[in-house]
Amino acid sequence: MARKSKSKLSELYLEENKDQIYENALAEIQSFELPLGTTLRSVYDDQPNAHQRFMEKLDACIRNHDREIEKMCNFHHQGFVDAITELLKVRADAEKLKVQVTDTNRRLQDAGKEVIAQTEEIIRCRVQQRNITTVVEKLQLCLPVLEMYSKLKEQMNVKRYYSALKTMEQLENQYLPRVSQYRFCQIMIENLPKLREEIKEISMSDLKDFLESIRKHSDRIGETAMKQAQQQKTFSTALQKQNNVNYGRNMHLSRNRILESKNEITLKRTFEEDDEHEEEVLTAQDLVDFSPVYRCLHIYSVLGDGEIFENYYRKQRRKQARLVLQPQSSMHETVEGYRRYFSQIVGFFVVEDHILHVTQGLVTRTYTDELWNMALSKIIAVLRTHSSYCSDPDLVLELKNLIVVFADTLQGYGFPVNRLFDLLFEIRDQYNETLLKKWSGLFRDIFEADNYSPIPVANEEEYKIVISKFPFQDPELDKQSFPKKLPMSQSVPQIYIQVKEFIYASLKFSESLHRSSTEIDDMLRKSTNLLLTRTLSSCLQNLIKKPHIGLTELVQIIINTTHLEQACKYLEDFISNITNISQVTVHTARLYGLSTFKDARHAAEGEIYTKLNQKIDEFIQIADYDWTMSESDGRASGYLMDLINFLRSTFQVFTHLPGKVAQTACMSACQHLSMSLMQMLLDSELRQISMGAIQQFNLDVIQCELFASSEPVPGFQGDTLQLAFIDLRQLLDLFMVWDWSTYLADYGQATSKYLRVNPSTALTLLEKMKDSSKKNNIFAQFRKNDRDKQKLIETVVKQLRSLVNGMSQHT
């Protein structure tokens, strides 16, 4: 029971729960809360009959609502009927009211049309006024922008590009941001970069024109700068020479007067030229407008491309520098070619120096120094090459002066030029070479024009003229009365003058080299030594070797070189007076003229010996002996007497020569004559000699010995000169006396009478006599003593041959 009652209670509880669920579902449906899916799912998720029961509950609910609606309608029906009745009554009045309202509205509309029109006009005016106010406000913002843009255009038109860039900067930073919403502003913003590029292109074009302009005007700028530097230096030098009253004080008077007059004329001319051109002095700014480069630099700096501009400018200038440093192929032919070359280089670096000092960063000192070092190396190479072609010393001197002015000009602008002055020392050597060539021609002309005879002076005036040109002193000659002759020939004072002129010419190159007086003195002495030891020495040697120079000329040449040698000390004094350097200075070089003239004198002496021997040979060649004669003519040969007379007259000319020279020449001539006569006897082509020929030959040798003993040249001791013929004398005595027994017996002894007779010589001559005897068949007709003599000759020949063979074996 209890279980049954519990089950019933459970069922009742479930039923109540289900009813409650259905009630909740209906309440949710009536509340129109969506979605209803969850509600309906709770209904259908229960027992299988839940749907039917839910529908039953739903129908019951619907019936309840219908009953409530019906009750409500029944309650309000009477009121509704009364309201309809009331509305029908008001209908007629409403129609009347509608007519009245329509009429009133029509009249009101007609009356309000004018007000509406005026109101619309007022509204339109108010809108216009507002728009005008707005426009004015906007224009007030835009007008400054437009004014700045207009200003920009105007600046572009008048080429004020730097100002235009500043205006652009103001537009971009201040004005355009205020009106950036307007289309014209966008157009302006788009145009500004184009304008900047246009300004860059225009300024770059101006820069290119500027670069082209300075390239064309570089030579004019350089010429002006060099002229100013030269005028300043000339003025300073002239003042210094004017103040230095001791300059050249001890020079020769005539030369001093010439130099002083030249200095005065130069100084006067310098002052006059300075006065004339004082107002015409131009600077680089006067010749070239530098504004394009300033403007372009500022423009690129403002645009932030300053580094690009600097690189472009330096690159272009480097290219121009290479063009300027490239010389013309014919530059070395004229001084104008060098002057144009230097002017262009100076103009280039004057412009760079100006740019360096008026701009900041475009050109730096490091850049200019690097550029100058590059240019200096090229300049030195060019000058080395082209100066080597110069053969005219005047052109080399003008080149040196141009290099000095060139160096001084650039040094004034702060460029180091020490290497240029070092180059001048190289060119100085070349200048000396050209001078030596020129003076070689002058010396040759002097020697060709000389008559090689002593200088005649008729009176005191002529004598003073000569000694004013050449330092000659001879107390013995001074005691003689006029007219008289000076020992040297005309070439001596001329050579001395030319040596001094050479020193002056060499001094011209040494000036302005920024060297001390000691260095200049050393340079002058070295160049003069070259002139003496090489040029003058070579000219003298060539002169001595010329065929037309005879013995008289050679004697005069020896006398001339003696006087020139004595004049060397005066040349040293001359150089010391020019440089104001005392000869006692430790480092002072000495002139080598002494050795030069000694060598020339020795060469002339040797040539005298040679020509004497040649002359002797000429006489010997005309000798015409009859080697088969039976007896002599009883007198010496004519050719020999002519030869002796020639030697006597020649040696009389040698009185002006130093004693040893004349003695050596005389001894050499006698020895050569003796050797020539000996060779004549021993000539292999001479097959036979008669005793008569030997006797005639002996007469000629006797004349030679008489000539030697007559002392043709003073100073020989005893019979020294006669010893030159001792070989011939002993040989001839041997054959004339026929003293073979003595010869053979005393042979090899120091006390031998025929000590100088060589067995081979005696054998040769004896065989020639033997052959002559056989050919004439004389001995066959002789008496017994003659046959004995023939046998004796054969015996002597055998003994001589044994002596000769013994000598050869001993050797």
pLDDT tens string 305-334:
888 888 888 888 888 888 888 888 888 788
| pLDDT the model gives residue 519 | 82
**pLDDT of 472:** 85
Q: In the chain, pLDDT over 90 holds for what percent of residues?
A: 9
Q: Cβ atoms within 10 A of the Cβ of 283, count?
A: 13
701-716 pLDDT tens trace = 999 999 988 888 887 8
State how far the alpha carbon of 10 is from the alpha carbons of 1, 16, 57, 476, in Å. Answer: 14, 10, 22, 190
- Residue-wise pLDDT for 47-101, tens only, equals 667 777 778 888 888 888 888 888 888 888 888 888 888 888 888 888 888 888 9
Rounded to the nearest integer, the mean pLDDT of the chain is 80
What's the pLDDT at 702? Answer: 92
d(CA 788, CA 793): 9
**Tokens 């002017």 label which residue?**
343
The whole-number pLDDT of residue 246 equals 46
CA angle at 496 for the pair 492 and 500, rounded to the nearest 5°: 170
Residue 641: band (very low, low, confident or very high) from pLDDT cuts 50, 70, 90: very high
| Among the ranges given (140-144, 627-631, 762-766, 767-771), the one the predictor scored with the smallest mean pLDDT | 767-771
Calculate Rg over the CA atoms of the chain: 68
CB-based contact 367:314 (threshold 8 Å)? yes
Reported as a single tens digit per residue, the pLDDT across 396-455 is 888 888 888 888 888 888 888 888 888 888 888 888 888 899 999 999 999 999 988 888
Among 61, 17, 59, 79, smallest CA distance to 42 is for 17
pLDDT the model gives residue 674: 92
Is residue 337 helix, strand or coil? Answer: helix
- Look-up: residue for tokens 């053969």? 391
> Stretch 130-137: mean pLDDT, rounded?
89
- What the block records as the tokens of 208 is 């290119």
For residues 471-489, give the mean pLDDT: 84
Q: What is the pLDDT of residue 266?
A: 37
Burial 173-192 (b: 16+ CB within 10 A, else e): eebbeebeeeeebeebeeeb
Tokens of 244: 């230095």
For residue 392 the two structure tokens come to 């005219």
Query: Rounded to whole angstroms, what are the CA distances from 508 to 147, 268, 471, 484, 512?
Result: 72, 21, 24, 39, 9
Pairing of strands 484-486, 455-457: antiparallel
Closest CA relative to residue 668, chosen from 615, 730, 710, 625: 615
760-765 long-range Cβ contacts below 8 angstroms, 24+ apart:
760/800, 760/804, 760/807, 761/678, 761/682, 761/731, 762/731, 762/734, 762/800, 763/797, 763/800, 763/801, 763/804, 764/682, 765/681, 765/682, 765/689, 765/731, 765/735
Tokens of 407: 């160096």
At residue 258 the predicted structure's pLDDT band, cuts being 50, 70 and 90, is: very low
Q: Confirm if 415 and 510 have CB atoms less than 8 A apart.
A: no
Q: Is 60 exceeded by the pLDDT of residue 174?
A: yes
Is 335:406 a contact under the CB 8 Å cutoff?
no
- HEC per residue, 650-690: HHHHHHHCCHHHHHHHHHHHHHHHHHHHHHHHCCCCCCCCC
Contacts of 487 (CB under 8 A, 6+ apart): 454, 474, 477, 559, 563, 656
- Residue 46: pLDDT band with limits 50, 70, 90: low
Q: What pLDDT was estimated at residue 33?
A: 56
Band (248; pLDDT cuts 50, 70, 90):
very low
Question: pLDDT band at residue 12, thresholds of 50, 70 and 90?
Answer: low
Choose the weakest-confidence range: 402-416, 584-598, 639-653: 584-598
**pLDDT recorded at residue 15:** 58
- Residue 379 DSSP SS3: helix
The tokens describing 274, both together, are 């300075």
* pLDDT band, very low/low/confident/very high, at 123 (cuts 50, 70, 90): very high
Q: What pLDDT sits at residue 231?
A: 81
Predicted confidence at residue 606, as pLDDT, reads 84
Distance between CA 720 and CA 710 in Å, rounded?
12
Q: With contact defined as beta carbons under 8 Å apart, do 766 and 738 qualify?
A: no
- pLDDT, mean of residues 166-180: 83
Residue 43 is predicted with a pLDDT of 63
Most confidently predicted of 481-485, 515-519, 643-647: 643-647
Mean pLDDT of 724-735: 90
Average pLDDT over residues 153-163: 84
Whether residue 144 has a cis bond before it, omega within 30° of 0: no
> Given this model, what pLDDT does residue 223 score?
85
pLDDT score for 149:
86
